Amino acid sequence: MNRIFRLRVAALLVVALVGGVLMGGVMADESSDLMFPVPEFSDHPIPTASVPEVQGEVAPLLDVAILFVALCLASYFTLVSRSRRNVLLLTIASLLWFGFWRQGCVCPVGATQNVALAIFDPTYVVPLTVVAFFVLPLVFTLFFGRTFCASVCPLGAMQELLAVRSIRVPRWLDHSLGLVAYIYLGAAVIFAATKTGFIICRYDPFIPFFRLGANTDMLLFGSSILLISVFVGRPYCRYLCPYGAILRVLSCFSKWRLSIPPDTCINCQLCEDVCPYGAIHPPTVTQSPERRRKGKRRLVTALMVAPVVVLGFWWLGTALAVPLSQWHPESRLAEQVRLEELGVAASTTEASDAFRGSGRSVEQLYQSALSRRNDFVTLGGLLGAWTGLVIGFKLIHLSVRRRRDDYQADRAGCVSCGRCYWYCPVEKVRLGLISDVSEALPDGQLPTGPLVQLTVGGKKS
């Protein structure tokens, strides 16, 4: 019943989402027609453009305060009260506030770019609010694990709510796809540092929904991510989110973090498949000497391959100076102007017309585009080296074997959503719902792990 019900919900969501997408497409198409001529034969006043009022001091501070409170609550709900229900309510609240009310801005994910730009360009003054938004979740993660992802991040919240029918992504696929987020992070940093653009914001798939409007491409992208979220838990968080990439790393070193059972794991296997994000790993088995030897060989190979990969990708990156620099609007403009100068451009563009009206010389434009392209030889190399480093590290990481005696939430991958609590018999004993773990086990099943007798409150008897 539960399964069929979930399927139905998934189907309904799909229908509604597809409807939304189509409608969005229609709306987006229409937006191009919004340029009306002034009404005819009337004294209709042409509205003058107005600049919105500067935000006062209070609003940004309020944002930071709300973020701080939300983080505290999230950490409390996941680690202390261990209440999935509260986590969920907080998730909805965060989605409504940070997502729909604040329209996804400012958000720590995008703040990464402001901070990167501030580091590379001392003339850029980054608002302290933005720094706070960037730093607070990092600090919380260092102490409590990814509680920010659990219920504060509006992007995560949206996907969390849609994770209705998650299929299990094989771990090897999960690990390899996860690399994309790190590369995206690298690209976002160099693009932000060179003022090429804030790509995280530009390609944020959730913004069209938070703001109820976007161009068709972004709507399609966003809708696809949402659709995928129904079947693959948090695809953006796992495979794209650049901030999540940082959080994953920090979370590995967090002082405290979520543990599935409140006390010792009894290896009952009940939580094994419940994590929609594939973040619960079973205990490892003892390896045969043959396998251990193989594993060592794999590690040695990985250690040798890693520097080659770094070098190879560094070289590849240097070769991408032209395409990377062309992400900058000015470089694209230079190409267009050059095509026009050569007489081979099909037509002029709004940007090139504006440029010709600006009085700036073509040489200056070219000069700037060429020096940017030069910069991108180095930056492309750096991005390549970073990519190589991430890949090399992943290869080494994959060849290092870690021993686990019980079921554990993956330090990096667990977003502290708390879904697994309910399944854990030890948790049920803690909550006083049962008096002995065996009551929670399916008939005839005995836990395979060390059987610990727990009393109400989760203390060992």
Partner 1 sequence: MNAYLGYRSILLSAWVAGVFSTLVGVILVIDGMNRLDKVPLEATSFVQLREQFLQQPDNDQLRQEIQALDLALRQEYFRELRFTERGSYLLLGGILVTLIFSKWAATLYRKLPRPKPKLPGPDSDEVLSHRGPWAVAVVMLVLVGTAWAMKAGHQSVLPSTLDALASVHHPVGERKSDGQDAVIEPVLAELPSAAEMRANWPSFRGADGSGIASDQDAPTVWDGESGEGIVWKAVVPLPGVNSPIVWQDRVFLSGATAEERGVYCFDAGSGSLLWSTDIAVDPTVAGQPIKTSDDTGYAAPTMATDGRLVFAMFADGQLVALDFAGNEMWTRSLGVPQRNNYGHASSLVTYQGSVIVQYDQGSSEDQLSKLMCFDGATGSPIWETIRATPASWSSPIVIEHDGQAQVITCCDPWVMSHSPSDGMELWRANCLERVEVGPSPVYSDGIVYAGNDTAIYAAIAVDGSGDVTETHVQWTADYGLPDTCSPLVTDEFVLTLASYGTLFCFDKQKGGEPLWEEDFGADFLSSPSLVGDRVYLFSRDGTAWVVEPTGEACNRISEAQLGEECVTCPAFHQGKIFIRGSEHLFCIGSANADDQ
| Main-chain phi, psi angles of 69, to 5 degrees | -60, -45
Half-sphere exposure of 325 (CA within 13 A, CB side): 24
DSSP, res 442 = P
Q: Which does 191 bind (CB under 5 to 8 A by kind): partner 1, ligand SF4, none?
A: none
When asked if residue 70 is in the footprint of ligand SF4 (CB under 6 A), the reply is no
Let me know the angle formed at the C-alpha of 227 by 168 and 157, rounded to the nearest 5 degrees.
80
Which of 71, 95, 130, 153 binds ligand SF4 (CB under 6 A)? It is: 153
Contact yes or no for 389/317 (Cβ under 8 A)? no
| Rounded CA separation 369/331 (Å) | 5
Minimum distance of partner 1 from residue 65's CB (angstroms): 25
DSSP, res 34 = G
Site for partner 1 in 337-396 (CB under 8 A): 338-348, 352-353, 356-357, 359, 363, 366-367, 369-370, 373, 387, 391, 394-395
When asked if residue 273 is in the footprint of partner 1 (CB under 8 A), the reply is yes
Site for partner 1 in 63-92 (CB under 8 A): 88, 92
Q: Quote the distance between the C-alpha of residue 190 and its chain's center.
A: 18
| Main-chain phi, psi angles of 35, to 5 degrees | -80, 95
When asked if residue 46 is in the footprint of partner 1 (CB under 8 A), the reply is no
Site for ligand SF4 in 201-260 (CB under 6 A): 236-237, 241, 243-244, 247, 258
Site for partner 1 in 144-203 (CB under 8 A): 161-162, 164, 170-173, 175-177, 179-180, 183
Q: How many residues would you count in the chain?
A: 461
**Between 404 and 459, whose beta carbon lies closer to partner 1?**
404
Minimum distance of ligand SF4 from residue 236's CB (angstroms): 6
Site for ligand SF4 in 275-294 (CB under 6 A): 275, 277, 279-280
And the tokens for 189? 């940093």
Site for partner 1 in 305-334 (CB under 8 A): 309, 313, 316-317, 319-320, 322-324, 326, 334
Q: Which does 266 bind (CB under 5 to 8 A by kind): ligand SF4, partner 1, none?
A: none
Minimum distance of partner 1 from residue 119's CB (angstroms): 26
Please tell me the count of residues contacting partner 1 according to CB under 8 A: 110
- From residue 401, alpha-carbon distances to 118, 245, 287, 394 in Å are 39, 22, 10, 13
Contact yes or no for 158/228 (Cβ under 8 A)? no
- Considering only the stretches 56-64, 120-128, 141-149, 285-293, report the one whose residues sit in contact with partner 1 under the rule CB under 8 A: 285-293
**CB-CB neighbours of 230 under 10 Å:** 21
Q: Identify which of 147, 143, 165 has the alpha carbon closest to the alpha carbon of residue 91.
A: 147
Mark residue 49 as left, alpha or beta (left: phi above 0; alpha: psi -120 to 50; beta: remaining): beta
Residue ranges binding ligand SF4 (CB under 6 A): 109, 149, 153, 155-156, 236-237, 241, 243-244, 247, 258, 275, 277, 279-280, 409, 414-420
